[in-house]
Amino acid sequence: MAMALAPRWLLVVPALPRMTAGVRSKTLNRLRRLGAITVKPSVFVLPDSPPAREDVAWLKADVERGGGEMTAFAADSVDAWTDDRLVEAFRRTTQAAYARLAVDLERMLESVPSTRTGSGSRPRVLDRFLARAADIERLDFFAGGGRDRVQALVASARQQRSSDDAGAGAGAPRQTYRGCRWVTLPRPGADRMASAWLIRRFVDPDATFGFAANAHSVADGEVAFDMFGVELSHRGDECTFETLRDCFAVQDAGVEHLARLVHDLDLRDGRYEAPLADALGPIIDGLRLAEPDDAALLGHGMVLFEALYLSAVRTAPVARDGDWRDTRSHTVRE
């Protein structure tokens, strides 16, 4: 989205030398994910806008909670940098990102088989590239070069996706799981909350949930998830939400957005550097502290992930692949 001819700038000045290594690393990663560029040591700049101010306010609060300091203020100019020079710096950043993505998209479109192999099918791989394109475009403040090329490749990828969807199998037969009682461990966190949400929205709209201490305590006829030693749990370096997504062939860009977020929240390996992970983690921790009842806690978490999904869908509309009944009510029926 092109900015006004005379942009105003938001300067962000974290006191990096006085931060602990952990807070400093998280701060720099967050600034990079926001699209900030460095204009001098410990001084970063963004185009001034209401969303940028909100993002920086959240970052400032997190920095201060971690014992650090950060200053942010608006300015009409940035020292020796002209507006044209700043705009060009932002454009170079996104142009380089678009160029890398274009190369990867071309290779993927030429080489990825349409049949399911290993951890995912071509539609799953396409979704990941489409999400990556959306992330770059979100930070393309000044229409960087290469955008048209990527948009053309994205259109080709969507066409491939539609063709593969038409010929793909449906994954695990969802109808065989209708009316089941799904059982997981007590005190649900991000992965169990999101997994229950995915089950209710995409697999079984009438699913009920319960809790057990371990897989051995799950009764016959009940479906265990996110437990050690059961099929629907972590697989390799993927969380349970990702396992359920793949097992039931849920092909939805909104779900792919949540999958990256849940992965980073649950496995804490920073693989996707999901922008919301740092903010959402404390919210889920707070829910677990505030709600002693496991069923109510799971219900609150499902509402949270429904809200995140709807927000993602509104930002980047996708074809939905679910049958969700009464989205206003996420009671965990025993």
The reply to whether 107 and 225 lie within a common domain is no
Average pLDDT estimate for 243-248: 91
Predicted confidence (pLDDT) at residue 173 exceeds the cutoff of 80: no
The reply to whether 281 and 159 lie within a common domain is no
The reply to whether 161 and 220 lie within a common domain is no
- What length does the chain have? 334
The reply to whether 136 and 180 lie within a common domain is no
Predicted confidence (pLDDT) at residue 183 exceeds the cutoff of 90: yes
Query: Strand, coil or helix: what is 122?
Result: helix
The reply to whether 204 and 306 lie within a common domain is yes
197-217 residue pLDDT tens: 999 999 999 999 999 998 889
> Looking at the DSSP assignment, which residues form a beta bridge with residue 45?
11, 37
Place of tokens 């038409």: 166
DSSP state of 38: E
Closest to 243 (Cα-Cα) out of 264, 226, 229: 226
The reply to whether 189 and 276 lie within a common domain is yes
pLDDT value at position 289?
94
Distance CA 286, CA 105 (A): 40
76-127 residue pLDDT tens: 888 889 999 999 999 999 999 999 989 988 887 777 554 443 334 555 566 6
Place of tokens 């999400």: 131
Last residue of a domain, one of 134, 167, 200: 167
Average pLDDT estimate for 23-48: 91
List CB contacts of 174: < 8 A, sequence separation 6 or more: 202, 203, 204, 248
Domain for residue 60, yes or no? Answer: yes
Is the pTM of the predicted complex or chain greater than 0.75? Answer: no
Predicted confidence (pLDDT) at residue 3 exceeds the cutoff of 70: no
Domain that residue 189 falls in? 174-315
Domain for residue 322, yes or no? Answer: no
Q: Which two tokens stand for residue 217?
A: 């305590």
Domain for residue 320, yes or no? Answer: no
CATH number for position 54: 3.30.70
**Number of Cβ within a 10 Å radius of residue 42:** 12
The reply to whether 159 and 182 lie within a common domain is no
* Alpha-helix residue ranges (DSSP H) falling in the chain: 21-34, 50-65, 83-111, 122-138, 147-167, 190-198, 240-247, 253-267, 277-290, 294-315
The reply to whether 113 and 129 lie within a common domain is yes
Q: Which two tokens stand for residue 327?
A: 């989205």
Domain for residue 110, yes or no? Answer: yes
Predicted confidence (pLDDT) at residue 316 exceeds the cutoff of 90: no
